[in-house]
Amino acid sequence: EVRLVESGGGLVQPGGSLRLSCTASGFTFSNYWMTWVRQAPGKGLEWVANIKPDGSEKFYVDSVKGRFSISRDNARNSMYLQMNSLRAEDTAVYYCARDGTRYIYNPPHYWGQGTQVTVSS
Amino acid sequence: DIQMTQSPSSLSASVGDRVTITCQASQGIKKYLNWYRQKPGKPPELLIYDASSLEAGVPSRFSGSGSGTDFSFTISSLQPEDFATYYCLQYEDLPPFTFGPGTKVDFK
């Protein structure tokens, strides 16, 4: 069974930093692209970033480019999202997801339960 | 970037009703569209991939159709667990991918 568990969320002041983690189990982590998706309170879903199995390719939504960095450690079955220069509009539940496998670039398939990030003074 | 619109933004229905949601892309995306259901306080669940293919284990009351810029998603007979918000997601070409704004289905 695919299991994804996010951690690292919390309350942070504007301009601060936070590092989210996603720990995977139930599949061979090093074979899959992984994604972060977020959802602001009462709002829709926003695709944030994804990373290739070997970490050599990464993509970001424009709103986080230059501030967020996605990475992974296949030996630890873990993915990370380093978030710097945080803004109030980054307040959201952040979901970790495992991508599909049909194509070179695939959408999210399996999802974790999410971790809350709140940016406020 | 490709923009996605969904309609309606919300609808009210009863158990047993047939419900249809549409999604439109700002440019052609071939068949590269997923549909997800999100129950309150839960993560999304994949229902339909490649516009019209039913994900394994998903009930057959869910279906999808379309290609290019216009897509539709239908629940043939609404069940209590289907009162939720539905999102389309395009994944044509390179990321970033984009979600539609969502359609909330609630009790009439």
Is any Cβ of chain B less than 8 angstroms from the Cβ of A111? yes
Per the rule left: phi > 0, alpha: psi between -120 and 50, beta: everything else, B51 is left
Instruction: Number of A to B CB contacts under 8 A, please give it.
Output: 56
Please give the average pLDDT of every successive group of 10 residues along chain B, which has 108 residues: 96 97 98 97 97 98 98 98 97 94 96
Nearest CB among A44, A112, A114 relative to B87 is that of A44
Q: What is the pLDDT of residues A42-66, one digit of tens each?
A: 999 999 999 999 999 999 999 999 9
B99 close to A (CB below 8 A): yes
- Nearest-CA distance from A116 to chain B in Å? 12
Q: What is the Cα–Cα distance from A59 to B78, expressed in whole angstroms?
A: 37
Rounded Cα distance, A20 and A78, in Å? 10
Q: How many CB atoms lie within 10 A of CB B102?
A: 20
Q: Compute the distance between CA of residue A94 and CA of residue B98 in angstroms, rounded to an integer.
A: 16
pLDDT digits (tens, 9 = 90+) for A32-44: 999 999 999 999 9
B34 touches chain A (CB under 8 A): yes
pLDDT, residue A102, reads 87
The answer to whether A67 and A85 have CB atoms below 8 angstroms apart is yes
CB within 8 Å: B43 and A113: yes
Q: Which amino acid is at A120?
A: S
| Closest in A44, A60, A95 to B43, CB measured | A95
Rounded CA-CA distance B10/A79 in Å is 35
Record: contact A105-B38, CB cut-off 8 A: no
pLDDT at B93 (0 to 100): 82
pLDDT score at A104: 87
The CA distance from A106 to B8, in Å, is 27
Residue of B nearest to A114 (CA): B43
Residue ranges for chain A with pLDDT beneath 70:
none
Under DSSP, the state recorded for A32 is: S
